[in-house]
Structure formats: structure tokens, C-alpha cells
Structure 1
Amino acid sequence: MRGHKKINTKQYLINDSIKPPEEAKIRAKNMVDDETVIKVFVDASELNFQGVFGLGICIVGQGDVKVRSKKHYNKIMKTHIVYAELQSIALAIKELDKLVINKKITPVKIEVYSDCVIVDRLKVDNKLTSIDMINEVATEVLFLWEDFEQKHKSISLQIETMSGDLKRYNPFYKAAHNAARKSLNKS
């Protein structure tokens, strides 16, 4: 098929209804420029229900944006995305511990956001489900959380479920989502 041009099927024009409004752009810029609060967005993805998970985090604040990802294997927990979401929170806290040590300006507060609704119950009850392995990861997250607060007493660490408004038009959540997928070679 020499001389035959391949048809490009990728969409190049963005629908006007998908473009972020001006308020969302301002919100994103304010998150990056905030010197006192660091926001962390986490997400997880699974490869074809095989127990191979991609973990993605995006750390925003103090004029910087950092994206990290990691592949995580656990065949027993296949189809349990809550397990992977908790693993991504654990990864975020470990990364934050390293990051805070290297920061010139210590943040007052760090907010970790997940789209998993179960994380709001972490401090109240570490037995989140009837599945022991998920509860073990929840206990690990609690331990990391408490350890972080002991090491960095001047920093308030919060872990909470992301509201729909915060999720909508959020390039940093999207970056965490894409990092999780990219670690699995998903597009």
C-alpha cells in the first residue's frame, strides 16, 4: 500500500463543553502557588482484572507539581480496587515523608484526596470491609499516617474523599489517574 495515507482517528478538537471554565483554571493555579497547603491526589487502576495494579499520585503546592507512579502486584486481590486505592494512599504518605524533609518551606497542612469513599472512615475504623487484606492495608495507612504526624508535628495531614466539585476539571487528579494507567501501559 505504498502511497496510501493512514487515516488519523485521534480527536484533536476539544468540545467546548469539556473545556475547563475560568474558575477551574484559577483554582488549579492557586493550588500550585499555595505555600502553606500541599494537596495530593491519588488514584489506582487495574490491568484487566488480573491483580496487577497501577498506583498514581500527584503532589501539588509550593510552586511545584510532582507525579509518581508504581506498579503493584497482588493476584489475590484482583477486582478489589479499594485495595489499590489504599495502596496508593500508602505510597503518597511515603513520598510525602521524603518530600517534606527536602522542602525549604514547611507546609502547615497536607491534604490527600482519593476518589474512594471508604477513606473517610480510616481514622474511625480500620476494619473497613470484611476482607482481611484490605483491612491490613488500612492499618498500614493508619500507621504511616500516625508516624508521619509524629515526625512532622507542625504539619496537619488529612486524608479524605474527593468531592465531585474538586474532581471536576482537576488536572492534578487527572495526572494521578493517567500515571496509574501509564504504569500499566494503558492509555
Structure 2
Amino acid sequence: MKIKGTTKRAGKRPNFWGRYEKKIPESVKDLIYHHYYSFETLYVYCDCSMQIEKNLMSIACSYVHNGSVIVESNVIYPPKDCKGKNIYGELQAIISSLCNFETHLNSFIKNIVIYSDVNNITEILTYKLNFNKVFSLSNTQAELIHLFENKQIQNPNLEISIKYLPKVLRANNPFAKSAHNAARKVLQK
């Protein structure tokens, strides 16, 4: 099978940072280019934005693989007990990425890495942290864990992981920024 996309690697690498490129640490640039040109791993960056006064949230996911970035976003309507709770939108963004990553797969992808800015996502996924006082958050947590486990079972040839993206790697990350901006833009319409 012929592999498409070799022309994307020809010439200069894209400058994601514009005139600020010289201020970006080389380690961050290397990581960003590694994600951008990754052939066997699909990287997904999730984010959420909200308007408390209208009780609206939006979620966005940036799918990064083999020299392309695809951003998808949606508006969500949080339940009353989650009004003003950003964590609800962040978990919904991860759920959305789990529901939609299969449309971005090809036969070469062996790993899916989903990034979130929820710093305790590991504790949430293992029930070490729970939301017993907020019914809708508790249900969303259970839905996320169930979906994550099912996707791992349904895709035995894929290594699927959900990881925290530290602030240091978010600050200069064009893919995290693209998800953030897409989520904000949806609410401005």
C-alpha cells in the first residue's frame, strides 16, 4: 500500500508560533513536531469553554496526526447542578474525543493519546476522586469510565490513554490552543 503524505515533510517545517518562535524552548518545539508528524499515534487535545450567564458550554477536540490537524467543536447544555462547573465540560470533551477518534484512524495508527487540562484525570478515571455531591458529575464520570473501558476492549490493537497536559506544555502548544480557541469561538456565535 502506498503511503500518502510524503510531500508534507518536504521543505521547511511549519512555524506554529510566528514571530515568537525563537522564544519557544527547543524541547517544546521537538515535542510539538513529534506530535504533528507522528505516523503511529493520534494525539487528541480536548478543551472546554463556558458562559455562566447563559448556562452554555462548548467543547472542542484537536486531532493531530501525520502532518494534519482537524478540530471539531460542539455546544453542550450542562444540567442545573453543573452550572458554572468547568469540570463537567472538560469531561464531556474527553467523552466526545472517545466517541469520535475512530473516524480519524487509519491502518497505521497504533496509539491514541488524549490530552486534557484536568490535572486529576487519573484519579477521576480510577474513582480515587468522585463527585458524590453532584449527581450529574457522578453520572458523567461513570459514563466516561465505562466508555473508556469499552473503547479499549473494542480496539484491542490500539493503546488508548488519557493524560493530563501540564500547564508548561499547554502554554506554547498550538494544538492545545486550537482546541481552546475553537471552544471559545463556538460560544461567540
Q: Same fold (TM over 0.5)?
A: yes
RMSD: 2.3
Equivalent residue runs for 1:105-120 within 5 Å: 105=108, 107-120=109-122
Instruction: Give deviations 1:118-159, integer Å, cap 9, x for gaps.
Output: 312133107622211111111111121112111110111111
Q: Any idea what SS the aligned residue of 1:117 has? A: coil
Q: Quick check: 1:56–1:68 contact (8 Å CA) kept in 2?
A: yes
Q: Any idea what SS the aligned residue of 2:36 has? A: helix
**Alignment match, 1:54:** 58
**Alignment match, 1:136:** 139
CA distance in 2, matches of 1:32, 1:64: 7
* TM-score w.r.t. length of structure 1: 0.81
Q: 5+ unaligned residues in a row in structure 1: which ranges?
A: 1-13
CA drift at 1:22: 4.3
* TM-score w.r.t. length of structure 2: 0.80
Number of aligned residues: 170
CA distance in 2, matches of 1:119, 1:38: 19
**Alignment match, 1:121:** 123
Q: Quick check: 1:50–1:75 contact (8 Å CA) kept in 2?
A: no
CA distance in 1, matches of 2:20, 2:171: 15
Residues 15, 49 of structure 1: CA spacing in aligned structure 2 closer, same or farther, 3 A cutoff? Answer: farther
Indicate whether 1:163 and 2:169 are aligned.
no
- Which structure has the highest helix share of the two? 2
Q: 5+ unaligned residues in a row in structure 2: which ranges?
A: 1-17
CA distance in 2, matches of 1:24, 1:87: 27
Q: Quick check: 2:125–2:141 contact (8 Å CA) kept in 1?
A: no
Q: Any idea what SS the aligned residue of 2:126 has? A: coil
Residues 17, 59 of structure 1: CA spacing in aligned structure 2 closer, same or farther, 3 A cutoff? Answer: closer
CA drift at 1:165: 2.8
CA distance in 1, matches of 2:36, 2:20: 25
